[in-house]
Amino acid sequence: MVITKRPIMQTLSTRKLVIDIPGRPDGYPLNLTIEAGQVWGVLGPNGAGKTTLLHTLAGLRAPRAGSLLLDDQPTGSLKRRAFSQQVGLVFQDHQDGFPATVLETALIGRHPWLSPWQMESADDVAMAERALEALDVLHLKDRLVSTLSGGERQRVAIATLMTQAPHTWLLDEPSNHLDLHHQVAVMKLLTERAKAGNAIFMCLHDLNLAARWCDNILLMYPDGEACWGPAERMLVPNALERLYDQDLQTVEVDGAPFFVPKRG
């Protein structure tokens, strides 16, 4: 698969970033550097602030403290449109917008790249169709999004991000609603994107998907504590058991750890 506009190498980083969760004390300040080629997995129990972090990184909500930098430039100095050419986000739940077809929905991703007077060109349409094909939903392109299943919608959302073609991909639970086959297909796609020079940063609730596909891990604890680093250093039973408040059993599959909850 070829992306027509190669993303410029950009690094999204945070300096002492404290996300703003109303009514919660400040969490541990985050100094993240999300670089090209990396696949990040964010793990944490429900309510730890994963989604809030993603929205903060996407510039949709202000942090409580600290700053967000794109190549050492504060993102606040960038125009919204320019920023969304660099950073894109797939939401966890899909707002039921106005009726639109699958192709129209994917084409929306071209918005940051077009001037107000510009119409989508044949190239843009081709790009959207390639993305839909990559996510195995091209055959649905004339269907209304509202008639799709949860998994199909999820794939359309990822295809939209792919059409947007930002450098940094933020994804909130991208494996949600997906069957096993498509979970794997999506993870493969994302790691391929990373190899092609994108940065991938996603929240996951499936520990083992993270173990299998991510090279960097951010653990977010419900008390606001956080730690991050290379996957092999983060994905250790002690840390994970504390993270989920759940005893785990570890097995080795293909040389990678595999975590199963202990019975009882």
Angle at 19 between CA 261 and CA 86, to 5 degrees: 95
Q: How far is the CB of 201 from another protein (least distance, A)?
A: 14
* Stretch of 18-26, 94-102, 195-203, 228-236 contacting another protein, by CB under 8 A: 94-102
Beta strands in the chain (DSSP E): 12-18, 33-34, 39-43, 65-70, 73-74, 87-90, 168-172, 199-203, 216-220, 226-230, 248-253, 256-261
> Which 3 state secondary structure label does DSSP give 47?
coil
Q: Is 154 in the site for another protein (CB under 8 A)?
A: no
Contacting residue, 14, 75, 84, 216, with another protein by CB under 8 A = 84
Residues 115-134 that bind another protein (CB under 8 A): 116-117, 119-121, 125
Q: Is 23 in the site for another protein (CB under 8 A)?
A: no
Contacting residue, 15, 24, 64, 111, with another protein by CB under 8 A = 111
* Stretch of 30-38, 56-64, 179-187, 232-240 contacting another protein, by CB under 8 A: 56-64
Q: Is 176 in the site for another protein (CB under 8 A)?
A: no
Q: Is 108 in the site for another protein (CB under 8 A)?
A: yes
Contacting residue, 47, 97, 229, 261, with another protein by CB under 8 A = 97
Q: Is 5 in the site for another protein (CB under 8 A)?
A: no
Query: DSSP letters of 77-133?
Result: GS-HHHHHHHEEEE-SS----S--BHHHHHHGGGGGGS-TTPPP-HHHHHHHHHHHH
Contacting residue, 89, 140, 148, 194, with another protein by CB under 8 A = 89
Query: Do residues 91 and 170 touch, judged by C-beta distance below 8 A?
Result: no
Q: Is 210 in the site for another protein (CB under 8 A)?
A: no
Q: How far is the CB of 152 from another protein (least distance, A)?
A: 16
Contacting residue, 14, 85, 154, 183, with another protein by CB under 8 A = 85
Q: Which amino acid is at 220?
A: M
The burial class, CB within 10 Å (0-12 / 13-18 / 19+), for 37 is: middle
Q: How far is the CB of 84 from another protein (least distance, A)?
A: 3
Nearest to 250 by CA among 211, 202, 203: 211
Find how far residue 17's CA is from the centre of its chain: 18
* List of residues contacting another protein (CB under 8 A): 55, 58-60, 79-85, 88-89, 91, 95-101, 104-105, 107-109, 111-112, 114, 116-117, 119-121, 125, 164
